[in-house]
Structure 1
Amino acid sequence: MYVAVKGGEAAIDNAHRLLADRRRGDRSVPALTLDQIAEQLALGVDRVMSEGSLYDRRLAALAIKQARGDLIEAVFLVRAYRTTLPRFGYAEPVDTGAMLIERRVSACYKDLPGGQLLGPTFDYTHRLLDEELDGDAEVGPGRLRMGAEEPVSRIADILGAEGLIEEDLDPSPLDEPGDINQTPMEFPLSRAMRLQSLSRGDEGFLLALGYSTQRGYARSHPFAGEIRIGEVEVEVCSPELGFAVPVGRVQLTECQMVNQFKGSAKAPPQFTRGYGLIFGQSERKAMAMALCDRALRAEELGEDIVAPPQDQEFVISHCDNVQATGFVEHLKLPHYVDFQAELGLVRSMRAEHAEPRDESLPDMKEAAE
């Protein structure tokens, strides 16, 4: 148990004032506005929304500003704010097949229905610092808007038509998918609850685990079936009307990984799926999530669990960066009593170790032999 340390209120108040001063920085430099953060640091905003589990660009931008750019601290702020919001209902499942895509690529097919849309990506840049950005030069007459005008079919549907990939079974309307915000976590978790945890898990942690699956720590041989970024409608069923009505649009990144599977006694040889879906634009996170999702399906598919990414208790218990930050950073709190106890024990053991041994007594090891 940890108790509050009294007597340091003045020091804490001063620390808060100093933090606010450092956050503002040089007063001769104009202060950042939330619009600037939301528009020009959009990928950081998307990460905070995804891992903070709250789709609100303005609040995510505010959290980034308050956290001085520390994205995990910003995620913590958003999560804390989220707990104060009332829950008034659940949205209907979004239809990513009806997504109006801005970017869509596949590593499985060169020519695919609807075509490849490169969209805004760093993939083809030369990773050279652009000195022109120092002057904040404008590109073109205004903001470019490009993307598909109509929804396009998914790669998994093409493979599914030939029976080459496992079916993506829709859950029964009577099956509750569970809610990690309302239900205490008990292992083993359903896939729905695992996906919820992975979706708001730390990008760096999932990236490392996903990378490890490709290096032989889960025998994963994936193909990026499809990665798509775009907007979908969110609908909520109105009890008064008796049908779902759209309440807004959100931007999502979806990734479907296609993995080899030799088959089992219950299933023929076919491709299997790994799935990733997150708020905003972050295909690296969505891809890492899909890799981890497929690895965590090892038991379901009759595969041996031989690596950490296949152990759901290990992955899910450690992927949350807010939880991890709290446990690591609590080491900064006072542990005076604990340390004094350890210090006394070490001193006692050293004193015992330094005492001269009576040579007339038999050696305990020799006596045992």
Structure 2
Amino acid sequence: MYVAVKGGERAIANAHAWLAEERRGDTDVADLSVTQIREQLKLAVDRVMAEGSLYDPDLAALAIKQSRGDLIEAIFLIRAYRTTLPRFGASEPVSTGEMACDRRISATFKDLPGGQVLGPTFDYTHRLLDFKLAADGEVPEAPSRDVAPGDVPHVTEFLNREGLIEEAPAEDTTPPDLTREPLEMPASRALRLQALTRADEGFTLGLAYSTQRGYGRNHAFVGELRIGMVPVEMEIPELGFAIEIGEITLTECETVNQFKGSKTEPPQFTRGYGLVFGQSERKSISMALVDRALRWEELGEDNVGAPAQDAEFVLYHADNIQATGFLEHIKLPHYVDFQSELELVRKLRREAGADQVPEAAE
């Protein structure tokens, strides 16, 4: 804390009051409610939930309001709150094949059972400012579409029928909980995926982009991108079976990647995978590309020295809360450290004679 700042605790209290005043803004403008943020800034809410590892739209919206729209600060607030919550148990693995899809597209197959569902997306907009939004006009009602959960097969199953794509790699052991145990290397794929789900979207996007530009030789197709609600079930010991306790929105991406084969494996496609809370298309696709790049050793490929292939580099730098904490701590007082550095530089300059003032030019 800035206890050395003139005024001490009083100065800090005043800084908090000033922050609250800036957060509120012009009092002649209506206060922004948590409900408005939850309903109208949904993509921001979804990102905070995903990287904060807590699925609660109301709390995520509150964190965005409290942080004045700073999403990393909001994620920090959510993670801090998460540590205070009791753990009652673990849910059963969700079945994304039963997803009630609001959006489902494939870049590999045009005709899908159930059809391609464009859903709410910016993909086909013109990226022009819509000044009608500034006029607070009524939004026209979208055509209704009934979305019912059911068996929605994944696109990769079509390739799997012919053996053209690897079987989904499975791990028998339960991965450690990254929210409770520190990350250790080497990390299993399940642990890497867990870390990538919580990773900063911008960092993951940059790594994914690098693989597309050649830093990792990772040419991929989006086999399928789907967004929708899935039921969450939890086994109740007293009942002896699992019951549905709620629903959550997920974004899932499976990429289809080239693979030349090996001495023991025929040429076939391989997979990259991304699964994120809420509607987080950019993040889920990025996650799938980075996941595939990190599998180079498992698949017997060459390591070309690309950043996205270095598990330690990726996983130890992907968490925006850790990065923010380490970066922003340099704002705090380092008077003693700096004074020792200052004395060292002065000593070196004296020994080198650099402390002599040059004579003025005539």
1:1-369 matches, within 5 Å, as 5=4, 8-141=8-141, 146=145, 148-149=147-148, 150-172=150-172, 175-305=173-303, 306-354=305-353
What is the aligned partner in structure 1 of residue 360 from structure 2?
A: none
Describe the shift of the 1:92–1:5 C-alpha distance in structure 2 as closer, same or farther (beyond 3 A): farther
Q: Is the 8 A contact 2:227 2:250 kept in 1?
A: yes
Aligned pair count reads 352
TM-aligned CA deviation for residue 177 of structure 1:
2.2
Q: For 1:258 and 1:101, locate their aligned partners in 2 and report how far apart those are by CA, in whole Å.
A: 20
Q: For 2:154 and 2:146, locate their aligned partners in 1 and report how far apart those are by CA, in whole Å.
A: 16
Q: For 1:311 and 1:138, locate their aligned partners in 2 and report how far apart those are by CA, in whole Å.
A: 50
Q: For 1:153 and 1:147, locate their aligned partners in 2 and report how far apart those are by CA, in whole Å.
A: 18
Q: For 1:84 and 1:16, locate their aligned partners in 2 and report how far apart those are by CA, in whole Å.
A: 23
Q: Is the 8 A contact 1:203 1:285 kept in 2?
A: yes
TM-aligned CA deviation for residue 355 of structure 1:
6.2
Q: For 2:39 and 2:151, locate their aligned partners in 1 and report how far apart those are by CA, in whole Å.
A: 26
Q: For 1:145 and 1:61, locate their aligned partners in 2 and report how far apart those are by CA, in whole Å.
A: 27
Describe the shift of the 1:3–1:317 C-alpha distance in structure 2 as closer, same or farther (beyond 3 A): farther
Q: For 1:332 and 1:111, locate their aligned partners in 2 and report how far apart those are by CA, in whole Å.
A: 55
Q: For 1:108 and 1:148, locate their aligned partners in 2 and report how far apart those are by CA, in whole Å.
A: 23
Aligned partner of residue 289 in structure 1, secondary structure = helix
Describe the shift of the 1:98–1:118 C-alpha distance in structure 2 as closer, same or farther (beyond 3 A): same
Q: Is the 8 A contact 2:2 2:332 kept in 1?
A: no
Q: Deviations over 1:260-281 (max 9, x none)?
A: 0011233221111000000000
Describe the shift of the 1:355–1:326 C-alpha distance in structure 2 as closer, same or farther (beyond 3 A): closer
Q: For 2:243 and 2:171, locate their aligned partners in 1 and report how far apart those are by CA, in whole Å.
A: 22
Q: Is the 8 A contact 1:54 1:78 kept in 2?
A: yes
Letter in 1 for 2:145: M
Describe the shift of the 1:117–1:50 C-alpha distance in structure 2 as closer, same or farther (beyond 3 A): same
Q: For 1:147 and 1:314, locate their aligned partners in 2 and report how far apart those are by CA, in whole Å.
A: 44
Aligned partner of residue 131 in structure 1, secondary structure = coil
Aligned partner of residue 21 in structure 1, secondary structure = helix
Q: Is the 8 A contact 1:49 1:279 kept in 2?
A: yes
Q: For 1:355 and 1:114, locate their aligned partners in 2 and report how far apart those are by CA, in whole Å.
A: 77
Q: For 2:2 and 2:194, locate their aligned partners in 1 and report how far apart those are by CA, in whole Å.
A: 33
Q: Is the 8 A contact 1:119 1:147 kept in 2?
A: no
TM-aligned CA deviation for residue 145 of structure 1:
5.0
Q: For 1:153 and 1:243, locate their aligned partners in 2 and report how far apart those are by CA, in whole Å.
A: 25
Q: Is the 8 A contact 1:117 1:147 kept in 2?
A: no
Aligned partner of residue 232 in structure 1, secondary structure = strand
Q: Is the 8 A contact 1:103 1:147 kept in 2?
A: no
Letter in 1 for 2:264: K
Once the two structures are aligned, what percentage of the paired residues are identical? 63
Q: Is the 8 A contact 1:102 1:146 kept in 2?
A: no
Q: For 2:146 and 2:107, locate their aligned partners in 1 and report how far apart those are by CA, in whole Å.
A: 19
Q: For 2:346 and 2:270, locate their aligned partners in 1 and report how far apart those are by CA, in whole Å.
A: 58
Q: For 1:103 and 1:154, locate their aligned partners in 2 and report how far apart those are by CA, in whole Å.
A: 13
Q: Is the 8 A contact 2:2 2:8 kept in 1?
A: no
Q: For 2:143 and 2:58, locate their aligned partners in 1 and report how far apart those are by CA, in whole Å.
A: 22
Aligned partner of residue 132 in structure 2, secondary structure = helix
Describe the shift of the 1:309–1:147 C-alpha distance in structure 2 as closer, same or farther (beyond 3 A): farther
Q: For 1:3 and 1:64, locate their aligned partners in 2 and report how far apart those are by CA, in whole Å.
A: 25
Q: For 1:100 and 1:177, locate their aligned partners in 2 and report how far apart those are by CA, in whole Å.
A: 28
| Gap runs ≥5 in structure 2 | 356-362
Q: Which shows bigger deviation, 20-29 or 176-185? A: 176-185
Letter in 2 for 1:168: A
Q: For 1:144 and 1:186, locate their aligned partners in 2 and report how far apart those are by CA, in whole Å.
A: 49
TM-aligned CA deviation for residue 300 of structure 1:
0.8
TM-score (norm 1): 0.92
Q: For 1:326 and 1:286, locate their aligned partners in 2 and report how far apart those are by CA, in whole Å.
A: 25
TM-aligned CA deviation for residue 351 of structure 1:
2.1
Aligned partner of residue 119 in structure 2, secondary structure = coil
Aligned partner of residue 230 in structure 1, secondary structure = strand
Q: Which shows bigger deviation, 338-347 or 20-29? A: 338-347
Letter in 1 for 2:342: L
Q: For 1:56 and 1:144, locate their aligned partners in 2 and report how far apart those are by CA, in whole Å.
A: 28
Q: Which shows bigger deviation, 75-84 or 295-304? A: 295-304
Letter in 1 for 2:46: D
